[in-house]
A and B are shown apart, each in its own frame.
Chain A
Amino acid sequence: MATKKLGFVIRTLPYKIEGSRLAMTHAISSQTVEIYLADGDLVEPVVCFIGDGVLNCLKSQQAMKNYGLTSLEQHIKNSLLLDLNVLICKEDVDKFGIKEEALIMDAEDIGGETKAKIVPYSEIQKAMESVDHLLFC
């Protein structure tokens, strides 16, 4: 019985390329990975938004209206609903002049209890050091 931790580090802009969406969907797929593993084994993702990647976390995304696509906002909320650890880099949020109230911090509207955390980069560094494998997206 073991748990492997994976760190998804999202640095890419939303919608421009598929990187952030794929990172989120791969992280969410951790919920069904047991079908391939021995009993008791788990994969535990942590999702970190840094650099341009913090722009994925903006509220009120209109992807369905403008592109006919599910929004990354919904993917982040689904991650929180599934109790994934979502970290957002404080320095990068500050650099863009984004206030916390403009960011997706919870999924209360769909019944989620886990909240995203805005943390200094040093905390993200610690998270990256704590995982078994890092996946830069």
Chain B
Amino acid sequence: MGKLTIGSFSSLVGSLSLDFAIKLSEAAIQKGHKVDLWVSGNATMLSKKGQKAFKDYSALAKKVQELVASGNLQVTACEACAEARGYHKEDTMEGVKRFSMDWYLASTFTADRVLHIGGD
């Protein structure tokens, strides 16, 4: 069993990068691996609670919660990036953590592989 760390700066809506990150996380978990997912910049919105699913937009909340509940996916949002977007601790999806950017670097330290998706 390995550990995959994925970091993303990409939007929840407007790019499909986070959809890819979640599908990759699920595939890795199904193969018996652990995944750390760091969401920073616009990607922090992935970790906000209260998302409503529309068929015209990416809707990842349900899948994220399922994977987090499995104990094999840890989602962590950049605290400063979230606060800058008016998204506060009480708005965070259950099971998701919030830390500063050094948490991500620490996660890469123990990762077997790192996939970083920068930009939008």
Contacts and interface: CB of A to CB of B under 8 A. Distances in A.
Interface stretch (B49-57, B58-66, B106-114): B106-114
B90 interface: no
A128 B11 CA distance: 27
A22 B41 contact: yes
A26 B80 CA distance: 12
A43 B116 contact: no
Contacts of A37: 106, 109
B118 A136 contact: yes
The size bracket of the interface on B is 20 to 34
Given A43-B108, A133-B111, A22 B100 contact: no
B103 interface: yes
Given A18-B41, A22-B40, A41-B109, A32 B119 contact: no
A82 interface: no
Contact of A133 (B81, B102, B106, B114): B114
Interface string A38-69: 00010101000000000000000000000000
Nearest to A45: B105
Given A6-B108, A18-B41, A133-B111, A36 B119 contact: no
Interface residues of A, number: 27
B120 interface: yes
A30 B101 CA distance: 8
A1 interface: no
Nearest to A135: B116
Interface string A7-23: 00000100001110011
B114 A137 contact: no
Given A26-B101, A29-B100, A137 B109 contact: no
B100 A32 contact: yes
A55 B7 CA distance: 24
12 contacts: A17-B119, A18-B41, A19-B41, A19-B120, A26-B101, A30-B102, A31-B102, A35-B102, A43-B106, A133-B113, A133-B114, A135-B118
Interface of B: 7, 9, 40-42, 81, 100-106, 108-109, 111, 113-114, 116, 118-120
Interface of A: 4, 6, 12, 17-19, 22-23, 25-26, 29-33, 35-37, 41, 43, 45, 132-137
